[in-house]
Amino acid sequence: LKSPDRGTPAATGEHARIRRILNRLPPAPAALVVGPGDDAAVWEAPRGTLQVLTTDALVEGVHFDRRLTSPADIGYRALAVNISDVAAMGGAPHLALLSLALPDGITSEVLDGLVDGLLDMAAEANVSLAGGNITHTPGPLLLDVTVVGSVKPRKVLRRAGAQPGDFIYVTGALGAAAAGLGWLRDAPEGDIPSAEPADAEMAACVARYRRPSPRTRIGTLLGRSRVASACMDLSDGLGDAVRQVSEASGTGAWLDAAALPIPGGARRWFASRGEDPLEAASVSDDYELLFTVPRRRLGRLRHVAREARGVPLTRIGEVTKGRSIEIRDGERRLPLPSGYEHFRKP
């Protein structure tokens, strides 16, 4: 956070905003040689590592709706989605840069919320906010986050590398985020961003939507142990991930509908709305990892599963030679749902 707002006459107000953010930061680690407040951050990467770099933006009205999601949850998510990308490469996240475009009418309270939510995620993932910038915008609120991580050479997880016969796994649960967002969209007027469903399983889905858990621990375990032949995060849903991994690897895939770890709360929610759970779960942005495992590595996978601290690893299908991608639902063969909208205006 190096400079005042560029582009508004109220530069002093923006100076104050940056000070406000800087005051909220925990002490920087020694590896951050120059932290926020200079022209750029300077960082010493862990010895013998490669750097992992990713950037992703959240735009109001496209990726989130402030009527449904609190500023803190928006800030949390903006960092989580990027950490998830680092995890999907087998990397450990270290630093974040935050680029904020603020429309008129963003109060100090909203700004504090955005930053505090981002810092919550940063603390959970042991990430330091190393810099960024604030600008005014005549358009919607936009948070663009860059995350820098590290990975050991030859421990990098790519999308390409799946081989026919490899098993396909996912971490955690599928469809929870979509069900949680659905519940928020249908929630009665009031303070929706902090509303809680009475049903505990539904509440878990809402929590999942509000604060996705990037799978950094499992990502690094998969990379280090060389268990996975390919890996990708589910930022655009299961359908998109299976398609991308297949395309990058030059393979096809089938998935077992009955094996998909769709939680009961999500299943019931989709059913109550007349939605096909399979389809709804396939386009849910759960930020889980999809990965493929050669059969000879299943022994090592058990080690990873034991270290996964309760996050389930579920076998959901198999990589195939052909280029087709299908779901097997008993005797039925269904095409995999594709297409995805992060956010549809309610």
Chain positions 36 to 65 lying near its own copies, rule: CB under 8 A, are 37-45, 50-57, 59, 61-63
Q: Least CB distance from residue 83 to its own copies, whole Å? A: 10
Round to whole Å and give the CA distance between 286 and 280: 11
Among 159, 208, 217, 267, which residue sits at the site for its own copies (rule: CB under 8 A)? 159
- Residue 174 sits in the site that holds its own copies (CB under 8 A): no
- Residue 11 sits in the site that holds its own copies (CB under 8 A): yes
Q: Which stretch binds its own copies (CB under 8 A): 32-40, 109-117, 184-192, 325-333?
A: 32-40
Compare residues 101 and 204 and give the one whose CB is closer to its own copies: 101
Closest residue by Cα to residue 148 from 224, 77, 79: 79
Q: Least CB distance from residue 117 to its own copies, whole Å? A: 19
Which single residue is written with the structure tokens 């949850």? Answer: 73
- Residue 13 sits in the site that holds its own copies (CB under 8 A): no
Among 73, 236, 318, 326, which residue sits at the site for its own copies (rule: CB under 8 A)? 236
- Do residues 92 and 150 make contact, with C-beta atoms less than 8 angstroms apart? yes
Q: Which helix (H) or strand (E) holds 252?
A: strand 252-256
List the structure tokens of 308: 């996964």
Centre a 10 Å sphere on the Cβ of residue 137 and count the other Cβ atoms it contains: 15
Compare residues 62 and 203 and give the one whose CB is closer to its own copies: 62
Compare residues 169 and 343 and give the one whose CB is closer to its own copies: 343
Round to whole Å and give the CA distance between 337 and 117: 32
- Residue 335 sits in the site that holds its own copies (CB under 8 A): no
Compare residues 89 and 242 and give the one whose CB is closer to its own copies: 89
Centre a 10 Å sphere on the Cβ of residue 44 and count the other Cβ atoms it contains: 10
Tell me the angle at which helices 71-88 and 200-210 cross, rounded to the nearest 10 degrees: 80
List the structure tokens of 12: 């002093």
Among 18, 92, 95, 227, which residue sits at the site for its own copies (rule: CB under 8 A)? 95
Residues 280-309 contacting its own copies, CB under 8 A: none
- Residue 339 sits in the site that holds its own copies (CB under 8 A): yes
Q: Least CB distance from residue 6 to its own copies, whole Å? A: 5
- Distance (Å) of CA 211 to CA 117, 165, 214, 270, 303: 9, 34, 9, 20, 27
Compare residues 88 and 204 and give the one whose CB is closer to its own copies: 88
Residues 96-155 contacting its own copies, CB under 8 A: 97-99, 101, 130-133, 135-140, 142, 144, 146-149, 151, 153
List the structure tokens of 58: 């959240």
Total binding residues for its own copies by CB under 8 A?
Answer: 75
Compare residues 3 and 314 and give the one whose CB is closer to its own copies: 3
- Residue 336 sits in the site that holds its own copies (CB under 8 A): no
* Amino acid (one-letter) located at 110: V
Burial profile 264-288: b = 16 or more Cβ within 10 angstroms, e = fewer: ebbbbbbeeeebebbbbbbbbbbbb
Compare residues 56 and 124 and give the one whose CB is closer to its own copies: 56
The rounded Cα 346 to chain-centroid distance in angstroms is: 22
Q: Is residue 181 classed exposed, middle or buried when 0-12, 13-18 and 19+ CB atoms within 10 A define those classes?
A: buried
- Residue 16 sits in the site that holds its own copies (CB under 8 A): no
Among 68, 89, 181, 304, which residue sits at the site for its own copies (rule: CB under 8 A)? 89
Compare residues 128 and 263 and give the one whose CB is closer to its own copies: 128
